[in-house]
Amino acid sequence: MRRMNQPKSLVFDTPQAVARAAAVKLLELGREAIEQRGVFRVALAGGSTPKLMYGELAQQPEALDWSRVEVFFGDERTVPPDHPDSNYRLAFEHLLQHVPIPPDRVHRIPAERTDPHAAAAEYGTTLRRLFGAGHPWPQFDLILLGMGPDGHTASLFPDTSALTESTRWVAATWVPRLQTWRITLTFPAINAARQVLFAVTGADKADRLAQVFGLSPGGNDLPAARIRTNGGGVTWLIDRDASGGRIS
Ligand code: 6PG
């Protein structure tokens, strides 16, 4: 059943099919951005489904003019770039090393810095330089996001300080449940994007997803439900398990 104001969604049989559809959408938006504005600015995500999607893109390096792509990251774990938990490392191993993107067009979060606030501030400065001073918020062509079983997205976790950030583009945030710092784009920075694409798979997400879609109560405060781009360009790609049979 589709409700009024329910986010735009597509449901697929398997995580691999979600990944394939996400890759197709990225290529489509990338070509369009390059044609219209000469550059495609995309923020990548960590997580299991993005990893599958990177594999899909890596198999067809000629499908996009990678020399005109600027790659960013929506969030990062506070580890060096060669650490197994690094989102940059995931993207590099599964995608970036397989496509002809100039290294200076890949803008990773310097999360190896000992002070996470300094790392966030440095990334904020990088974004302001690349998106042009004078813009209130960055305008990514596409931000890829996942959603955790607790409703977090990027590194915007429930009940954490980053959720109330209203001026910074990038924030450092302590996540008590994981006992770690994370660096993340903030809500206003994400919601200024032209398009946001969620890729969500697995039965452990079904209850939260039903809340985000307004099919059960309690969803309004979930971080993932607060992603509403100004232009309305949020699309959810979901596998059957995550849909719980309730989302079509
Ligand atoms: C991260 C991600 C995070 C992720 C979700 C979903 O760095 O962990 O950016 O927000 O997308 O936790 O992850 P899965 O797709 O692996 O469930």
List pLDDT tens digits, range 53-77. 999 999 999 999 999 999 999 999 9
Q: Atom 14, ligand 1: which residue's CA is nearest?
A: 47
Rounded Cα distance, 176 and 1, in Å: 36
Pick the closest to residue 18 from 51, 45, 59 (CA basis).
51
Rounded Cα distance, 51 and 69, in Å: 19
Query: Sorting pLDDT into bands at 50, 70 and 90, what band is 3?
Result: low
CB of 146 sitting under 6 A from ligand 1: yes
Mutation pick for ligand 1 pocket among 14, 18, 155 (CB with most ligand atoms within 8 Å)? 155
Pick the closest to residue 106 from 59, 63, 145, 72 (CA basis).
72
Alpha helices of 192-231 — where are they, by DSSP H? 206-212
Rounded Cα distance, 45 and 109, in Å: 12
Rounded Cα distance, 22 and 56, in Å: 9
Rounded Cα distance, 88 and 110, in Å: 10
230 pLDDT above the threshold of 80 = no
Rounded to the nearest 10°, the torsion over CA 240, 242, 243, 246 is: 120
Segment 79-104 shows an average pLDDT of 98
Q: Calculate what percentage of the chain has a pLDDT beyond 90.
A: 91
CB of 153 sitting under 6 A from ligand 1: yes
**Residues forming a β-bridge with 239:** 12
The angle subtended at Cα 72 by Cα 67 and Cα 74, nearest 5°, is 155
User: Closest ligand 1 atom to the C-alpha of 77?
Assistant: 7
2 pLDDT above the threshold of 60 = no
Say what the pLDDT of residue 17 is.
98
Rounded Cα distance, 4 and 244, in Å: 19
Q: Is there a contact between 141 and 206 (Cβ–Cβ < 8 Å)?
A: no
6 pLDDT above the threshold of 80 = no
pLDDT tens for 142-173 read: 999 999 999 999 999 999 999 999 999 999 99
- Compute the distance from residue 42 Cα to the ligand 1 centre, in Å: 17
Segment 34-41 shows an average pLDDT of 98
- Compute the distance from residue 167 Cα to the ligand 1 centre, in Å: 24
Rounded Cα distance, 166 and 156, in Å: 13
Q: Is there a contact between 42 and 30 (Cβ–Cβ < 8 Å)?
A: yes
Query: Sorting pLDDT into bands at 50, 70 and 90, what band is 7?
Result: confident
Say what the pLDDT of residue 226 is.
95
Q: Is there a contact between 33 and 39 (Cβ–Cβ < 8 Å)?
A: yes
User: Closest ligand 1 atom to the C-alpha of 145?
Assistant: 11
Say what the pLDDT of residue 132 is.
87
Query: Sorting pLDDT into bands at 50, 70 and 90, what band is 5?
Result: low
Say what the pLDDT of residue 38 is.
98
Query: Sorting pLDDT into bands at 50, 70 and 90, what band is 178?
Result: very high
